[in-house]
Amino acid sequence: MSNMICASFTLSKVGARRLTIQAASALRATEPVFRDEEYADIDWNNLGFGLTRTDYMYVAKCTENKEFQQGELSDYGNVELSPAAGVLNYGQGLFEGTKAFRGDDGRVFLFRPDQNGIRMQIGAERMCMRSPSVQQFVDAVKQTSLANRRWIPPPGKGSLYIRPLLIGSGPILGLSPAPEYTFLVYASPVGNYFKNGMAPLNLYVDNEFHRATRGGAGGVKSITNYAPVLKAVLRAKEQGFSDVVYLDSVHKKYIEEASSCNIFLVKGNVISTPATIGTILEGITRRSIIDIASDLGYQVEERCIAIDELMEADEVFTTGTAVSVASVGSITYKGQRVEYKIGDEMVSQILHKTLVGIQVGRIEDKHNWVVEID
Ligand code: COI
């Protein structure tokens, strides 16, 4: 079944639940009323960043070193894998994260999905994997979002987090690239990433564990970058911290990123973030915030940043697809805790509001980042 046929078949099943907007005379014309029956029956007011099972996922395969076949939507469910799959034995896998947002008028938007597709291709090259074309990637994200439309949260309640995966699914015993790859996209409605919502983060700078090393795979979204930081994250969370900031593994001096997001500091009118030189993920939110900040007239620098400079900043914030833009309230390093200004007038708040405004179609999208998918 072709993508097109598959998508229309699936959407007609979902079509009965499609969003409709009722004009409400008691409200201003800009305040639509959303009918409950158009949404999945969950508590939209208490979404965290947990997995909620949605209706459909997308799967495409690539065998014998050929191109990826056309993918199909199927019911969301478990996948069958050989015990000898490359991903299970040697960690040959990449993931992505992107989001679908509902605008105030009910329209559905994706944010720069092509950038995730490009990043997956770069990661696949590093990990010796076959990858889908950017067009197939974006098409798969669109199909998965629309098929799961009833799970896209109402305006202001969150977003549909979309998780594309690329895995070495073929069996391989000797250390070698897998003979088959699977591209899979699933989705889950989410709210704030951190458990305390939008409260400023308390970050811990780890002096023992490193996230990535020069020549490693820290610059791509390999699944192998995430399990090794769990120990540091769990230890920090037990002590009440929100996340961990890692230092470079050579000098143990320059900040790199946090476990789940990139990091920025503000000093005067200058915003700085570590340059991505192979050990730091090229965050799509990171790049978007650099562009938004430049548009707003800030000087933005990408360079090496010593931990001492972070401790002396006026303001610190983190960025990521899951995290969006999160203000940092404190950083603890070698037993010393510094606290930063927080409040509505913060640079991070201005950047956050601008980013979200663009993502939900409320602020002019002058870079053409937003893709409407109705
Ligand atoms: C994302 O921001 O999309 C990520 O992949 C981070 C992950 C740890 C949730």
> Which two three-digit tokens encode residue 165?
């995966």
- DSSP H/E element including 141: helix 134-147
Mutational test site, ligand 1, from 110, 260, 359, max ligand atoms within 8 Å of CB: 260
Nearest CA to ligand 1 atom 8: 260
Atom of ligand 1 nearest to the CA of 283: 2
Q: For ligand 1, is residue 283 a contact (CB within 6 Å)?
A: no
- DSSP states of 37-103: GGS-SS-GGG--S-----SEEEEEEEETT-PPPPPEEEES------TTBHHHHH--EEE--EEEEE-
pLDDT < 50 positions in the chain: 1-33
Q: For ligand 1, is residue 87 a contact (CB within 6 Å)?
A: no
What is the C-alpha separation between 358 and 367, in angstroms, rounded? 10
Rounded distance from Cα 121 to ligand 1 centre (Å): 18
Catalytic residue among 61, 142, 195, 221: 221
Q: For ligand 1, is residue 97 a contact (CB within 6 Å)?
A: yes
Rounded distance from Cα 321 to ligand 1 centre (Å): 6
Atom of ligand 1 nearest to the CA of 95: 5
What was the pLDDT predicted at 265? 98
What was the pLDDT predicted at 196? 86
CA atoms within a 13 Å half-sphere pointing along the CA-CB vector of 111: 30
Rounded distance from Cα 138 to ligand 1 centre (Å): 18
61, 141 contact by CB (below 8 A): no
> Which two three-digit tokens encode residue 97?
């994260």
Tell me if residue 278 falls in helix, strand or coil.
coil
Nearest CA to ligand 1 atom 7: 260
- The verdict on whether 157 is a catalytic residue reads no
What was the pLDDT predicted at 35? 57
Q: For ligand 1, is residue 184 a contact (CB within 6 Å)?
A: no
What was the pLDDT predicted at 195? 86
Rounded distance from Cα 342 to ligand 1 centre (Å): 24
Q: For ligand 1, is residue 276 a contact (CB within 6 Å)?
A: no
Q: For ligand 1, is residue 260 a contact (CB within 6 Å)?
A: yes
Residue 249: closest CA among 304, 207, 305: 207
pLDDT digits (tens, 9 = 90+) for 59-115: 999 997 789 999 999 999 999 999 999 999 999 999 999 999 999 988 999 999 999
191, 92 contact by CB (below 8 A): no
What is the C-alpha separation between 234 and 248, in angstroms, rounded? 20
Rounded distance from Cα 161 to ligand 1 centre (Å): 10
Atom of ligand 1 nearest to the CA of 320: 2
Domains and CATH numbers, the chain: 18-190 (3.30.470.10), 201-359 (3.20.10.10)
What was the pLDDT predicted at 12? 30
Atom of ligand 1 nearest to the CA of 260: 8
What is the C-alpha separation between 76 and 95, in angstroms, rounded? 17
What was the pLDDT predicted at 342? 84
What percent of the chain has pLDDT above 90? 85
